[in-house]
Amino acid sequence: MNILSLGEKIKKLRKEKNMTLKELAGDRITAAQISHIERDKSHTSRELLEYLASQLDVSVDYLLETKEMQSKKLTDNLILQGEILIKCNDLEKAEDQLNEAIKICDEYKVLDNYATCNFLLADINFKKGKYSESVMGYEKALYYFIKNNDKDKLYKCYLNIGKIYMIEEFYKGAILQFEFSEGILNEIQVEDVDIYKDLYSKMAYCYIKLDNNEKSLDYINKMDEIDIKNNPEEELDVLILKANNFLNVGEFEKSKEYFKKALEILDKEKNKTELASIYLTISEIYKSVGKLDRSLEYSQRVYDIKKSDEDEYMMKSLFRIIETYISNYEYDMAKKYCKIALASSIKNKNRLNEYRVLKYYSDMHKAQNENIIAIEYLHKCINIISELNDEKILADLYINLGELYSDISKEKELEYYQKGVCIYKNLEII
């Protein structure tokens, strides 16, 4: 659909009907007058518009639509198409549609739709993981939503910016955005309790990350005040948050109690990822109280349910299993799981995980007084960390290498100690 002036519409319709200027003019006016109208050089009366509309088989309203009115309708449709494409995860096509709409909105000052386009483009960038661009899009949209007092979209902008800050671990910034969201919800008196519970769970999580358990519990209590009896998923969020809070303040038994309740729900729903997350946390609880056998049991459960996925949960469980076996001096078992972890790391091209496994090998050989082999593994670790350009880890590895050379070569010992110390000084650690 093109945005046309009155004259452009008449000319387009006439050509589509293969009519000459004279044929369209008929006995009412001259061909020259039609030519002037088509070039927008003269105005038409209502009576003449009705005549032209009947000749061209369109309504008078269509002919009278201004460019601004057409641009609003056109961008409305482009936005709807964009929203459908986003829901279908066809983000590139959606982006093209919305960028086209933005150009039209900008040219014809369709400000409402301009804001909506920026909001949806921000959604697309959010999905793509382009967080800086996403925040910029939401902030651009905010200006117009504030101007138009569009509370619903204001809430969504603040909420989404908060979510991005959570991902980026900027928890103070996230809390500020969530507070803006909460203020809007209170102002418009939203009745959907799900919205409040979602927001409160995020705020509680941020306060946990900021080590402010008191504020986190405040928001959990707010969630408790909302009726959650008939919704297991919402109850699950509350149980997990409570368990984490009790874990953070050292109340392990209470924490374990809430995790078990959460597990009962998850077992029914068979949600592997949530289940893996819970098992890992329970494993951490047992590790913190010195019950390594129980910690190992829950780490093994995570591995068993996630090994086919080869995701971060599987790797976390493997590392926990390896560390537990190393703590128990069961090096053969630790090496067995190291082999699995190393194969997965290489397959998925995760160099950091590959480094971690090689470091476990080095530590085990060192503990068994096999320093030459331990040194070989440390050199492999250094090669990987040099590629990843992590100066702090690299300095630590050089110090470890110096320690291993202490009974082999004083020259090498001094060389690697100096390399480590030099990096520490550059990092202003010492």
Examine the domain organization and report whether 239 and 314 are in the same domain.
no
Sign of the CA dihedral running 412, 414, 417, 423: negative
pLDDT confidence of residue 272: 74
Higher pLDDT, 302 or 51: 302
Alpha-carbon span 357 to 340, nearest angstrom: 10
Alpha-carbon span 174 to 135, nearest angstrom: 12
Residue 331 inside a domain? The answer is yes
Residue 377 inside a domain? The answer is yes
Q: 257, 220 in Cβ contact below 8 A?
A: no
Listed residues 65, 90, 112: the one ending a domain = 65
pLDDT confidence of residue 266: 67
Average pLDDT over residues 157-172: 95
Examine the domain organization and report whether 175 and 99 are in the same domain.
yes
pLDDT digits (tens, 9 = 90+) for 401-414: 999 998 899 998 89
Alpha-carbon span 265 to 230, nearest angstrom: 12
Kindly report the CATH number assigned to the domain that includes residue 415.
1.25.40
Listed residues 47, 65, 83: the one ending a domain = 65
Residue 266 inside a domain? The answer is yes
Q: Where residue 267 falls among pLDDT bands split at 50, 70, 90?
A: low
pLDDT digits (tens, 9 = 90+) for 217-235: 888 778 767 644 445 555 6
Residue 354 inside a domain? The answer is no
φ and ψ of 408, to 5 deg: -115, -50
Q: Where residue 380 falls among pLDDT bands split at 50, 70, 90?
A: very high
Examine the domain organization and report whether 76 and 178 are in the same domain.
yes
Spell out the SS3 assignment of the chain.
CCCCCHHHHHHHHHHHCCCCHHHHHCCCCCHHHHHHHHCCCCCCCHHHHHHHHHHHCCCHHHHHCCHHHHHHHHHHHHHHHHHHHHHCCCHHHHHHHHHHHHHHHHHHCCHHHHHHHHHHHHHHHHHHCCHHHHHHHHHHHHHHHHHCCCHHHHHHHHHHHHHHHHHCCCHHHHHHHHHHHHHHHHHHCCCCHHHHHHHHHHHHHHHHHCCCHHHHHHHHHHHHHCCCCCCHHHHHHHHHHHHHHHHHCCCHHHHHHHHHHHHHHHHHHCCHHHHHHHHHHHHHHHHHCCCHHHHHHHHHHHHHHHCCCCCHHHHHHHHHHHHHHHHCCCHHHHHHHHHHHHHHHHHCCCHHHHHHHHHHHHHHHHHCCCHHHHHHHHHHHHHHHHHHCCHHHHHHHHHHHHHHHHHCCHHHHHHHHHHHHHHHHHCCCC
Residue 200 inside a domain? The answer is yes
Number of domains, the chain:
5
Examine the domain organization and report whether 76 and 170 are in the same domain.
yes
pLDDT digits (tens, 9 = 90+) for 313-359: 899 999 999 999 999 999 999 999 999 999 999 999 999 999 999 99
Q: Where residue 1 falls among pLDDT bands split at 50, 70, 90?
A: low
Examine the domain organization and report whether 240 and 206 are in the same domain.
yes
C-alpha pair distances (Å), 8 with each of 66, 67, 71, 266, 327? 12, 11, 15, 63, 82
Average pLDDT over residues 261-287: 73
Alpha-carbon span 291 to 294, nearest angstrom: 6
Amino acid, single-letter form, for residue 301: R
pLDDT confidence of residue 230: 43
pLDDT confidence of residue 369: 93
φ and ψ of 30, to 5 deg: -95, 165
Residue 1 inside a domain? The answer is no
pLDDT digits (tens, 9 = 90+) for 35-47: 887 787 877 878 8
Examine the domain organization and report whether 172 and 81 are in the same domain.
yes
C-alpha pair distances (Å), 333 with each of 371, 375, 376? 20, 21, 21
Listed residues 136, 151, 186: the one ending a domain = 186
Amino acid, single-letter form, for residue 69: M
> How much of the chain exceeds pLDDT 70, in percent?
94
Examine the domain organization and report whether 421 and 392 are in the same domain.
yes
Task: Return the residue matching tokens 């599987």.
Answer: 314
φ and ψ of 50, to 5 deg: -65, -40
Residue 119 inside a domain? The answer is yes
Residue 372 inside a domain? The answer is yes
Mean pLDDT across the chain: 85
Examine the domain organization and report whether 172 and 75 are in the same domain.
yes
Examine the domain organization and report whether 278 and 340 are in the same domain.
yes
Examine the domain organization and report whether 60 and 72 are in the same domain.
no
Q: Which domain holds residue 40?
A: 6-65
Examine the domain organization and report whether 76 and 182 are in the same domain.
yes
Kindly report the CATH number assigned to the domain that includes residue 124.
1.25.40.10
Examine the domain organization and report whether 306 and 406 are in the same domain.
no
pTM, full prediction:
0.49
